Chains A and B, each alone.
Chain A
Amino acid sequence: MRLLSFIVLTLGLAGCERVAADRADAQLVARVNGIEISAREIRTSASPSVAQAVEKVIDRELLVQKALEAGLERDPQVKDSIDNARRQVLAQAYLDRAASAATQPTKEEVRAFYAENPALFAERRLYRMRELIVSAPAELIDVLRAQAARSSDLQEVAAWLKARNARFTMAAETQPAEQLPLAYLQQMARMKPGEIAVFPIQLGANVIQVVQVEEAPLGLEQSQTVIEQFLAGRKRLELAAAEVKRLRASAHIEYVAQFKQSTR
């Protein structure tokens, strides 16, 4: 009999908890022209505070009401957009579920990432640099590189470019290692003050002269949280990408001729 009472009580409490959670979700937040807005709608907003989220949802509700009054939901373009949005949400939900299977990075993985990226952590530096953003055809890059190697100052490179009527802008800035393009970082980490490097970009090149470097190393403990979050995020993305790849491999996809080249 006691056992039965206990079971009844437990089940009752569990049920009450569910009901409470559901009530919180369905809690009325506001009424807009008689239409009730529940906490559930607030949850989906990406605003930084609850108050802002409420205001945003109210604005949205007002617009929705007007759109419905105007019969916009019957507009073919709007219909298509609604369908696309629905599909996007479904795809994202599936992807999120697939990615949720990702495991947290181990201590060894964190340590390995820390060790593999000394320029970002153990040997992190702050770079004060001057930069020329040059618009130049690809064939000029090698010549520019040779000129940069000969020059002791960025002004010399600028003068050389000016003499060739090349378009460029000059800038000076200070950046920590993690803000530098990863494509530059390895080389930048080896550069000494005064050295000049040329990094090709799509429409020309960045010519960078390191003016000053300041050592700003980060210990493993300091970096641990960032690395853990990064690795966990990367695992989730990898899982999601693998799932998409698996789905593509098992699906029967037929391209219409005119899209075949552009989509692959």
Chain B
Amino acid sequence: MKILRRLAFAFVLGCSCAVADDAQPGLYSFADLYRLTVNASPEALAFALPAAPEQIPLHVRVAAAMPDAFAVAEPRFTVAQASATRGWMLLLAGLAAASWVAHRRLTSAY
């Protein structure tokens, strides 16, 4: 709600574009940084953690509404990546099996 207010206010001032395009980490909360770092999106690379608050240029807050950082992370749909097929393993197993059968036939009395 506050963000909407800020954006609306910025729009009234005729500077909404500049604000939206030029958001800086100065007004990021820990919850914002948590989301950015834990999600580790490539954009987050630009947002280094502040060493000391007074060194940071101040700017508008991140535009997205933030959930409680201490709440459980929202469920995400991911499927674990399966590694590539090892065809050579099957080939080797087949060769070994064939060798074994051949060996048995050649050495067995029956």
Asked if A pairs with B, the answer is yes
The closest CB in chain B to the CB of A19 belongs to B85
Q: How far apart are A246's CB and chain B's nearest CB, in angstroms? A: 14
- B residues 6-51 near A (Cβ < 8 Å) are 6, 9-10, 12-13, 15, 19, 22, 24, 26-31, 33-34, 37-40, 42, 44-45, 48-50
Complex contact B79–A43 (CB within 8 A): yes
Once bound together, how far apart are the Cα atoms of A92 and B41, in whole Å?
A: 9
Complex contact B59–A233 (CB within 8 A): no
Given contacts A133-B6, A178-B30, A181-B27, contact A244 B45 (CB under 8 A): yes
What is the interface of chain A, defined by CB distance below 8 A to chain B?
A: 4-5, 7-8, 11-12, 14-15, 18-19, 21-22, 24-25, 39, 42-43, 45-50, 52-53, 91-92, 95, 99, 117, 120, 133, 135, 167, 169, 171, 173, 176-186, 199-203, 218, 222-223, 226, 229-230, 232-234, 236-237, 240-241, 244
Q: How far apart are A189's CB and chain B's nearest CB, in angstroms? A: 11
Further pairs besides A182-B33, A183-B54, A232-B38: 12, Cβ < 8 Å: A15-B93, A18-B90, A46-B77, A117-B30, A167-B12, A173-B2, A179-B31, A182-B29, A182-B30, A200-B58, A226-B69, A230-B37
Given contacts A45-B77, A46-B77, A203-B10, contact A241 B96 (CB under 8 A): no
Complex contact B45–A8 (CB within 8 A): no
Complex contact A48–B89 (CB within 8 A): no
Shortest beta-carbon contacts, A-B, top 5: A233-B37, A21-B82, A11-B93, A15-B90, A181-B27
Once bound together, how far apart are the Cα atoms of A200 and B57, in whole Å?
A: 9
The closest CB in chain A to the CB of B24 belongs to A202
Complex contact A179–B29 (CB within 8 A): yes
B5 within 8 A of A: yes
DSSP majority for the A interface?
Answer: helix
Query: Which B residues are CB-close (under 8 A) to A133?
Result: 5-6, 9
Once bound together, how far apart are the Cα atoms of A238 and B33, in whole Å?
A: 14
Once bound together, how far apart are the Cα atoms of A248 and B45, in whole Å?
A: 15
Of the A-B pairs whose beta carbons lie under 8 Å apart in the complex, a sample of 28, sorted by A's number, is A4-B100, A8-B100, A12-B97, A14-B89, A18-B86, A42-B79, A45-B77, A47-B77, A53-B77, A117-B30, A169-B9, A173-B2, A178-B34, A178-B70, A179-B29, A181-B26, A181-B29, A182-B50, A182-B53, A200-B58, A201-B58, A202-B22, A203-B13, A229-B38, A234-B37, A236-B40, A237-B45, A241-B48
Complex contact A19–B90 (CB within 8 A): yes
Complex contact B30–A12 (CB within 8 A): no
Once bound together, how far apart are the Cα atoms of A182 and B5, in whole Å?
A: 20
Once bound together, how far apart are the Cα atoms of A4 and B104, in whole Å?
A: 12
B92 within 8 A of A: yes
Q: How far apart are B49's CB and chain A's nearest CB, in angstroms? A: 6
B76 within 8 A of A: yes
Given contacts A171-B5, A176-B68, A182-B29, contact A22 B58 (CB under 8 A): no
Complex contact B49–A234 (CB within 8 A): yes
Query: Which B residues are CB-close (under 8 A) to A183?
Result: 26-27, 50, 53-54, 56, 58
Complex contact A241–B89 (CB within 8 A): no
Once bound together, how far apart are the Cα atoms of A56 and B44, in whole Å?
A: 26
Query: Which A residues are CB-close (under 8 A) to B50?
Result: 182-183
Query: Which B residues are CB-close (under 8 A) to A45?
Result: 77
Complex contact B40–A237 (CB within 8 A): yes
Query: Which B residues are CB-close (under 8 A) to A42?
Result: 79
